[in-house]
Amino acid sequence: MAGAVAAGISGASADSTLKINAGEAKAKSSPIHYGLMTEEINYCYDGGLYAETVRNRAFKDDAETPVHWSLLDENSTIGLDRETPLNDKIDVSLKWEIRSKRSSRLANEGWWGIPVHPNTRYRASFYAKADGTAGPVRVAIMDKEGRKTYAEGTVESIGSEWAKYELVLETGNVKDTDETQLVLEAGEKRTIWLSLVSVFPPTWNDRPNGLRKDLMQLLVDLKPKFLRFPGGNYLEGNTLEERFKWWETLGDLTERPGHPCPWGYRSCDGMGLHEFLLWTEDMGAEPVVGLYAGYNLNKSYIPAGPELDKYVQEALDEIEYIMGPVDSKWGAKRAAAGHPEPFPLRYVEIGNEDWFDVSGSYDGRFAQFYDAIKAKYPQLKCISSVGNEQSKWLVKSRNPDVLDEHYYRSTDEFIEMAGKGYYGSYDRNGPEIFVGEWAAHEDKNIRPWDKDSMTTFPATPGMLAAIGDAVFMTEMEKNSDIVTMQAYAPLFVNLNEYQWRPDLIGYDAIRSYGSPSYHALKMFSTNYGDEILEASLDADSALHCSVTRDSEKGVIYIKLVNPEERQEKVSIQLDGLEKVASNALVEVMSADPEDTNSIDKPEKVVPVSRKISGIHPTFSYPVPGTSVVVIKVKAM
């Protein structure tokens, strides 16, 4: 290890001095500074947070063949059937022709396996019809060889008209495994058509169509104040037709056609607008909603003017669904979905990364959305998707309430930015700043969007990147009077297949873990006060710091980041305080720069907490090399 947890040493000589003005607050900090950003990338929803275990459940992932489905014998054939669809939204079915009275078995591989946990109840369902009456149909979770059964149930009979069949599969005292598949078994020389085959494990808050519990727990533990959704590139889509059509993600799953995701796979849209809103509610967070604003990733765009009106109306309707009264058109649909109370909404973002629109049309498009939104919802704050880091494309015709800035930088670059006081020079009377996407990576010569990144480094960041993340967080936090919101991105990565790294949280079908960057973020987001205190380090100190105070509890949160591999002892001076509690709580995460967490070693790098004693308004603390430290001191 680069360093170990150490106790405070009052009165000892120090390498540097940290002076904190605890007599008065420098400014109020933003109450929603720490949040989350999400989009469908790295199998973040399908195969990730969305708890559905069946892959290609509606048979729409490939136009020619039922990918991820296979037969375990030669007694039958399968193929896509567009002549016998479930409905006009799910416009294809699987035709399963059983050619003999001997049973036939049809298997789904799941998202790299079906997650099996001991003593667990799974809710299974499927839509089916037969050429006459067929049955029974056995549904089972089995090993990959089709020999061992972990859970099973039976539907006794399938009728000749489309109907939904539901059953419960329950495991016994088995070991966790994802070396599994879902198997449907039938016989009788019949033809059966299938659609929307689904198996859900227990979900967060036991919500139907809900979210994976372990991943939600990792998010809830961060205590996020907001969630920005649905993306990201996922909002824009590769083409106009492939944009996030929020209204097509509402209602029963039979009414959701799904759509291609810009990251190379199809989204089933089980995670729809309503599920996003429930997600925020379940975390105690508020939504920050991205509105499609007329630009697509293939560089096509809809110019400002009458042609854009349709898409402005789509945005107004979406806002109405979220916060409209129950007697409004879309508010009534929200109520019918089980949520008559409006969801809280204060911020909407107009577009995503519109600096990619080199035509310069964003200024006019933003203005058209801004004017329409302000006319109907004057209380909402409108976020421009272009920030100061892309100053050439800043909106000029209107004054955005908020600017969204994105920073994917190496650790060295974040250290340089923070060392120069990047946000300290921002106009405090200007727009709020939302750092809507940011993350540190290890090497400025190998960027996250470079193919070499995924072959050179693991999917989740190690301690070196966590140091860069923590340094940048000190810069954002000490300026959280103007940097009102910030969110690391991407949030999730399925370790079996992914398109981008580094990512905050890694998982497979049955396990998950937080990266060192996750733990650094948690240290910051859960130790944060409502007041910013002025703090300064010696010019030659290698440390970076931010200090906030909980004005009600009197707790001062001192955050220190040491990018160097050597320990640095710092003398901490709390000016303006006569007395503090003699004991303080300290959280320390310290490791070698190359150390990281993984699916097999999920807690190799984690914070360690302890109590230190002998604390006075002036005390010293040895900050370990390559470390992130939070010291919690209570004023008396």
Please state, in angstroms and rounded to a whole number, the distance separating the CA atoms of residues 368 and 505: 38
Residue ranges with strand state E in 443-601: 483-488, 492-494, 505-507, 512-514, 531-532, 535-537, 544-550, 555-562, 568-575, 584-590
> Which of 456, 460, 455 has the alpha carbon at shortest distance from 520?
460
**Whole-number pLDDT of residue 134:** 85
Residue 527, CA distances (Å) to 254, 469, 474 in order: 44, 16, 12
- Interval 581-627: pLDDT, tens: 999 999 999 999 999 999 999 999 999 999 999 999 999 999 999 99
> The tokens of 480 are what?
């959280």
**Whole-number pLDDT of residue 438:** 98
Please state, in angstroms and rounded to a whole number, the distance separating the CA atoms of residues 570 and 566: 13
Indicate whether 490 pLDDT > 50.
yes
**Whole-number pLDDT of residue 100:** 84
**Cis amide linkage into residue 514, ω under 30° from 0:** no
Q: Residue 173 — pLDDT band, cuts 50, 70, 90?
A: very high
Indicate whether 11 pLDDT > 70.
no
Q: Residue 125 — pLDDT band, cuts 50, 70, 90?
A: very high
> The tokens of 530 are what?
């409502």
Between helices 463-478 and 516-525, what is the axis angle to 10°? 20
Indicate whether 2 pLDDT > 80.
no
Residue 294, CA distances (Å) to 143, 363, 367, 397, 586 in order: 47, 12, 12, 17, 49
Topology, domain 16-30+530-634: Immunoglobulin-like (2.60.40)
**Whole-number pLDDT of residue 8:** 45
Q: Residue 354 — pLDDT band, cuts 50, 70, 90?
A: very high
**Whole-number pLDDT of residue 5:** 38
Domain ranges of the chain: 16-30+530-634, 36-52+205-518, 69-202
Can you identify the CATH homologous superfamily of domain 69-202?
Galactose-binding domain-like (2.60.120.260)
Please state, in angstroms and rounded to a whole number, the distance separating the CA atoms of residues 596 and 602: 9
Q: What single DSSP character describes residue 445?
A: T
- Interval 200-246: pLDDT, tens: 999 999 999 999 999 999 999 999 999 999 999 999 999 999 999 99
CA 444 to chain centre: 24
Decide if 437 contacts 487 (C-beta within 8 A).
yes
In angstroms and rounded to an integer, the radius of gyration of the C-alpha atoms of the chain is: 27
Using a pLDDT cut of 90, give the percent of the chain over it.
96
Please state, in angstroms and rounded to a whole number, the distance separating the CA atoms of residues 249 and 272: 4
Is 36-52+205-518 a CATH 2.10.210.10 domain? Answer: no
Question: Which residues face 151 on adjacent strands?
Answer: 141
Indicate whether 188 pLDDT > 90.
no
Amino acid letter at 240? Answer: L
Indicate whether 515 pLDDT > 90.
yes
